[in-house]
Structure 1
Amino acid sequence: MKLFDVYPLYDVTPVSAKGIEVWDDKGQKFLDFYGGHAVISIGHSHPHYVKRIKNQLDKMGFYSNSIQNPLQQKLAEKLGQMSGCGDYALFMCNSGAEANENALKMASFHTGTSKVIAFNNSFHGRTSAAVAATDNPSIQAHINKQQKVTFLSLNDFETFEKTITSGGYCAVIIEAIQGVGGLDEPTTEFYQFIAKKCKENNVVLIADEVQSGYGRTGKFFAFQHHGVQPDIISIAKGMGNGFPVGGILIHESFKPSYGLLGTTFGGNHLACAASLAVLEVLENEGLLENAAKMGDYFKQKAAKIPKIRKIKGKGLMLGIEYDFEVAELRKQMIYNHHMFTGSAKNKKLLRFLPALNITKEQIDEFFEALQKALQ
């Protein structure tokens, strides 16, 4: 049997990793400034993380949600305390797509309606409703297009108000900083306007924090830069530092009932151990503060490079925009300078999503290589 060929692959085979350093099967060291789509939040093979998972595996790796699992409650309490979202309830699943799928489902249950407002260049996942709310027709099968989704421009107050007041909408789903789309953001005024109009029209506001959450922007959640309170918050990527885990935080105004949501693997013992380890490292090492500081330092360094047209994002969710497409630049960075970076729907944008414990010295190495590659 062969693999189903859906991924264009770089000719690199990583075999071990520590922090932001990755070694391939030939012994070559790479620096990881992308973290596998912002998944690696506390660095590869962090010793506390490894110890937590190993200890849990020695005891018990998995059982279903038909039994008591105190680790889930411990995680919910720690997450509520660190995020400032103690008035939400946690439902655990396995990925960002599944998180957004459940968020949209909850919104439809709650309102009794089905239409969704999403935004141009959004990316919310590849499952049925999540991919329908993703602004990329090429990854939507005909079965996905049965969903009723209206795509609007960010920061267009008039069109947003006209659309949401037309009726039939169950949810507005929004990224505070677009990931795959290219790091575009709503203004604070627009995000607050959305929140206000959702309340006025009994529409559920879903904050997609799958990529921007868990401290990546210097605050625990990116929506916290804007002073809003979403109804549902979706989380995943950095939550498990590589262990597949996701979830939604559901405001206490939503009432649960048995069977409303469900999952086989979500919230298993290993997922909880991984997620708790990430929160503990974020707290003990002050990584939210480091993300904010290193983001500022990155922007200062980037501002000195003439060929950079625009610097986008917050904290360590960053993008550098050029006036040329960056595919060749990424190849140079990986093959000539041994550094992983990321791309976006905006083909002129180079994405930078390192672990949150990155140092100034490592950022300096990145810019030294980048300047050489741009010559």
Structure 2
Amino acid sequence: MSEQRDLEIDDELQAQIFSKQKPTSSTLLLQTWTKCICIAHFHEPQDDFDQAMKVVVRVEDGDVRRFEEIAAFQRLGCLAAHHLVPRTFKVGTIVGRGGKKLGFLITAYVEGVVLTEVYDFLGTEQREAIMEDLIAAVKSFYHVKPSNVESFRAHGGVLLETFQAHSNIPIARIGGPRWGYFHDARSFLETVVKKLETWGSRIAIKEAEDEGILVETTEASLDYLQPVHISKSCLLEMESGAVMSFMDLEPRNIIVRAKEGANGGYEVAGIIDWEMAGFFPSGFEQMFKDSQCGSVNAYFDWYRMFRDKTTDCLSLGENSAQLALFSVMDMARQSYMAQERRNFGLLYTRKWILEEKLVLDGIKGWIRKPEAGKVEPWSEEKNRLLGAQVAKELGMTWN
């Protein structure tokens, strides 16, 4: 049995990626069995890369089609916010060891640091200024829709086949590379529930008499969760109202750079890593963020800023599709939190919610409890200590 090796962008792969001039050197950023990301350096400006002397090269093993779809969403993102989304210069397929197909992507290099490296040192005003710039970009993404035919033809790449297919072929109305693609809202909601529950399936979606759907629990232990009826009109609204959503606006995916002439000030330089992007019902990005609190992101102020500054993207009416979507997602979230499992992520999230003194205020999201008082700001150190506490309870080692 051959030994598993990390994926490497060697001379042979470089020759396939760079058909005109190979880079003179490279700086490795990330390397795993299935992925390699590096900065390629050139001695002189390159015509193919807007006269740049550095570009970012990403090579991945796996589903090449999915890789091309991610690149297409980044291109659409650059169309909407060209000043913050790195330009995509080239995407394609190369052949690695053993004839295996690999996907590759060349994008503009963005000078700066990942926001996580400096976030703990930023004051409230600086954090809010960064979020303001990001929200402007996020809202510009929402203007990109599957119905934007001209944008798709120019920048959508393989997505054109998925969302703008011929009339005799069912087209996707919702979805993205990570979530999959869905021809209707019901199949999308079934996948959302499954992903948020994580283990098993304790929530069922059934067809209602009025051509809508009924979402209800199948477990007696969850009988406190009220069934959710979603009308046909709400389902159609979810489908027709799908907008491009980045879905992963976290500090780890934001590049910032020091402002010229500012003492310690930073500004947004780039939004990177488009794996989670897709076309989703309006409001889904905000509600998905609720389910990620205390897992992918432990900075409550970051979450709250995002939710507060996108409140105008939500419709809070009693019969709105967004309220129906929230109700289903909240049911799945509660099912997940009620699981009796000794799982690190689940236990960490429970403790984090207690530590931050939070309560879910309906479609408005997580807020501090009225009696919370002053809560010490979150930090990487607090994250480390809480992780160590959970690991100890589970009998795990923790570095």
TM-score relative to the length of structure 1: 0.25
- Larger Rg, first or second structure (1 or 2): 2
Higher relative contact order (CA 8 A, sep 6+): 1
